Structure 1
Amino acid sequence: MMQWSWRQAFYCMTGILGNVETQSSEPFTRSCCGRISPLYWRVPILVWALFVMFWSIAYFWGPKDMFFLYMTHWGLAFIVLESIFGIFVAIGRRGLTDATFGLPWYVKTYWILYNITIPVAFLITVFYWGILRTSVNTVNFAPNPVLDVMLHGVNSGVMLVELVCSAHPSRLLHIMQPLYFAGAYMLFSVIYFFAGGLDPWGNPFIYPVVDWSKPEQTMVVITLTALFLALMHLLVVGIAAARDAIAKRREDVPTGVYNDAFAP
């Protein structure tokens, strides 16, 4: 059984990247599918995300300054950022330092964005179709049905492609990174509520199921959402482990890079 040290516990609670001085940059610059460049999927994902971003802004149902009230749009912005840094890492592979000097800052940034964006995309899809669309207080968050699917369905699909095709690790100890993202959004919603903020229809909440005028109900929703987001992170780690095990078996080599989920 794995014995956790105080340092590993610290890495987990803070969500920071641990032992990056011993982590090679090489897995971040390639695909798990042989010599295929990550650019083959990261560039299309960026183009898709930018297209959907501009489309969403153009068809937004309220004032444009309210666009980033919603976690869906936060998640979309993170897909844009994650793709940009992923492309930069793939293009700049020749200039990456080796494990002796640790990971460059832009590789660390990409890794953090990757750790946050994928489970959050999965959460947005499940939260929207499983809770918001079935809520008694139904609000029409996406008047365009095609855009609705793009924002709340295809978002998870493109991030699943990123997860399945990448070769770098996903760590259990990084579970706090997506949770801190969710915590930042929760704090934003609290501040917005107590500042008298309204949604585009004049309601005193952003989402009807996250109504701070009903704190007990809202805290139940937030707690369950946080637990589900943690579960999504575990799912990401499991998929990464299965991906690398399959890639390792396909290459038929006794050693190689694999997803050691318990490493810091």
Structure 2
Amino acid sequence: MLCAKCPGQWHWWLEHPSPADFYISRWQSNRSALPLLSLRTIVCLYSVGVLVATLTVTPRALGSNAMYWLLYFPHWCFLLIVLTSFFSSAVSAYVYFKKPIDATFGLPWYVKTYWVLYNVTIPLAFLISTFYWGLLKTSGKMTYYNPHPVLDVMLHGTNSLVTLVELVMSAHPSRLIHIFQPLLFSLVYLIFNVTYYYAGGLDPFGHTYIYPVMDWSKPQEAMVVVALTGVFLSACHLIVVAIATLRDTLARRCLKENVGICNEGFAA
């Protein structure tokens, strides 16, 4: 069932009746924006540091043009993590240093931007970690790797941990209907991947594909991988919604609230 302050007609759109949920942690009993601002600032600085490191180390170690860095989906997703952490920090900083968010005429653009980035980034981070360590690393055909083992883990492992922290500590909802957002972003990368192949692009090692499991000289096999990836991404989004619901339930019990914030993700 829907909670009283979560009108069903808002589920399609980026609107939410409580703007404070975007800058106050679900686990705090006061209304200060400082706790979440502090956490988000740390995550943002960490993400920017990893991004700078990988942009510096990876092309130099591979002896390739830095533009090749943009070929790979985990790098696209890590850029999203940086953007998400920046906008989340900006939302919290705006409230802490200036004033509470006024949502009389709807959520401001910067809150909606953060929410879209949040919706896209978290399930994709889960997907990247599973896809990389479960498929590419074990396929025996992986041609790309990060030459620095620590950066390799940060790009394909701790990326999920960082986004999980944001998911668990936030208070705003994760909605099933927003599944189209990560799927649309993935579709953009798919179009890029196919276009790059048919335009004659090569990877840093001279291969005609970016990923061996998505070799478009074998379109049927590649489409199977694409379809399975779409299914798994949908499952990752469902997991995100489930975690948000569990978060709210546990927080309500820990804070001993009789009436708490509901995650309206499973509402009809």
- Corresponding residue of 1:68: 70
* Offset at residue 262 of structure 1 (A): 3.3
* Offset at residue 50 of structure 1 (A): 1.0
Cα distance between partner residues in 1 of 2:134 and 2:124: 15
Contact 1:37/1:90 (CA < 8 Å) preserved in 2?
A: no
Cα distance between partner residues in 1 of 2:204 and 2:24: 43
* Offset at residue 176 of structure 1 (A): 0.8
Cα RMSD (Å) of the superposition?
2.0
- Corresponding residue of 2:79: 77
The number of residue pairs the alignment matches comes to 252
Gapped regions of structure 1 (runs ≥ 5): 3-7
- Corresponding residue of 1:18: 13
- Corresponding residue of 1:160: 164
Contact 2:121/2:182 (CA < 8 Å) preserved in 1?
A: yes
Give 4+ residue runs of structure 1 displaced > 3 Å after superposition.
Answer: none
Cα distance between partner residues in 2 of 1:164 and 1:24: 18
> Is residue 27 from structure 1 mapped to residue 21 from structure 2 by the alignment?
yes
Contact 2:216/2:222 (CA < 8 Å) preserved in 1?
A: yes
Cα distance between partner residues in 1 of 2:180 and 2:35: 29
Aligned-partner SS, 1:120: helix
1:73-121 deviation digits (Å, cap 9, x = unpaired)? 10110011001110111111224113x3211011000000000001101
- Corresponding residue of 1:5: none
> Is residue 103 from structure 1 mapped to residue 128 from structure 2 by the alignment?
no
TM-score, length-scaled by structure 2: 0.89
1:152-203 deviation digits (Å, cap 9, x = unpaired)? 1111111111111111110011011111111111011011111111000010
Q: Give the letter aligned to residue 88 of structure 2.
A: G
* Offset at residue 239 of structure 1 (A): 0.3
Aligned-partner SS, 2:213: coil
> Is residue 191 from structure 1 mapped to residue 191 from structure 2 by the alignment?
no
Aligned-partner SS, 2:207: coil
Gapped regions of structure 2 (runs ≥ 5): 3-7
- Corresponding residue of 2:5: none
1:101-159 deviation digits (Å, cap 9, x = unpaired)? 21101100000000000110111100000111112323241111111111111111111
Cα distance between partner residues in 2 of 1:38 and 1:222: 37
Q: Give the letter aligned to residue 38 of structure 1.
A: L
Cα distance between partner residues in 1 of 2:100 and 2:27: 22
Equivalent positions of 1:41-52 (< 5 A) are: 41-52=39-50
- Corresponding residue of 1:151: 155
Contact 1:24/1:102 (CA < 8 Å) preserved in 2?
A: no
* Offset at residue 256 of structure 1 (A): 2.6
Cα distance between partner residues in 1 of 2:102 and 2:215: 48
Moved more, 50-59 or 222-231: 50-59
- Corresponding residue of 1:88: 90
1:188-234 deviation digits (Å, cap 9, x = unpaired)? 10111111110000100111111111100000001001100100000
Aligned-partner SS, 2:211: coil
